[in-house]
């Protein structure tokens, strides 16, 4: 399989799931990002720095990365209501080696624990291995983010290593866990009853 390297070819308008719909971000989504990334708990789970992003940092992140051409960033909407609840993305697309790095944030706290993040992850992984014909999807997660780790394991990601003591949170050092899923592993999971 040859990975898709044309950046426009890997940017669908929408990816449909049962619970969520992933759509390309629009400029008006900046307001949601400002709310999510100024929330101390979202920042604790997603950032190395010990606090929320400033309004200027959020705006720069949104326009440089989320709306930029180097990320495949998708807005996560609840399918039933069309409510915007989060974002997920691929970065560091390496067409030569068939790999990418996955990121996800469910920014609306009342949407946590309803399976939206799991389904968004599964949809993005399926997109990586079918449409983009990649070989590997990787991610990093902080050791204390147990809910996210469970989600990734449920979606087939395996721990492949850790950066020991990489982040200081809650009065102690925690590991950053490196996880990945390979196309062959994902394909085998699709054949399971």
Angle at 80 between CA 79 and CA 85, to 5 degrees: 55
Specify the CATH number of the domain 9-190.
Answer: 3.40.630.30
Mean pLDDT of 12-22: 96
b/e string for 144-161 if b means 16 or more Cβ within 10 A?
bbeebbebbeebbbeeee
pLDDT at residue 71 tops 90: no
In angstroms, the Cα distances linking 5 to 1, 72, 134 are 12, 12, 10
Q: Which of 89, 70, 85, 2 is nearest to 36 (CA)?
A: 85
Strands 99-106 and 136-142: parallel
Q: Are 61 and 52 in contact (CB under 8 A)?
A: no
Q: Chain centroid to CA 80: how far?
A: 21
Please give the C-alpha separations between residue 15 and each of 22, 33, 121, 126, in angstroms, as whole numbers.
5, 21, 11, 10
Q: For all residues of the chain together, what is the average pLDDT?
A: 92
Give CA angle at 8 (138, 103), nearest 5°. Answer: 25
Q: Read off the tokens for 2.
A: 């040859």
d(CA 42, CA 35): 10
pLDDT-derived band at 9 (thresholds 50, 70, 90) equals: low
User: Any idea where the domains of the chain sit in the sequence?
Assistant: 9-190
- What confidence category does residue 50 fall into, taking pLDDT thresholds of 50, 70 and 90? confident
| Distance from C-alpha of 14 to C-alpha of 175, rounded to nearest angstrom | 35
pLDDT digits (tens, 9 = 90+) for 74-99: 999 999 999 999 999 999 988 889 99
């Amino acid at each position: 399989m040859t990975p898709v390297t044309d950046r426009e070819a890997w940017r669908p308008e929408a990816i449909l799931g049962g619970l969520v719909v992933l759509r390309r971000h629009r400029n008006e989504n900046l307001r949601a990002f400002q709310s999510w990334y100024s929330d101390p708990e979202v920042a604790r789970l997603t950032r190395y720095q010990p606090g929320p992003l400033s309004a200027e940092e959020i705006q720069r992140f949104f326009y440089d990365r989320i709306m930029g051409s180097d990320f495949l960033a998708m807005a996560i909407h609840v399918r039933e209501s069309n409510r915007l609840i989060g974002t997920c993305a691929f970065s560091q697309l390496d067409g030569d080696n068939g790999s990418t790095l996955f990121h996800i944030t469910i920014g609306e706290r009342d949407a946590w624990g309803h399976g939206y993040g799991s389904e968004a992850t599964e949809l993005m992984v399926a997109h990586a291995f079918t449409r983009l014909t990649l070989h590997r999807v990787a991610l990093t997660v902080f050791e204390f983010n147990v809910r996210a780790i469970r989600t990734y394991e449920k979606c087939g990601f395996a721990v492949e290593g850790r950066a020991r003591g990489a982040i200081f949170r809650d009065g102690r050092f925690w590991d950053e866990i490196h996880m990945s899923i390979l196309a062959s592993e994902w394909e085998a999971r699709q054949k399971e009853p």
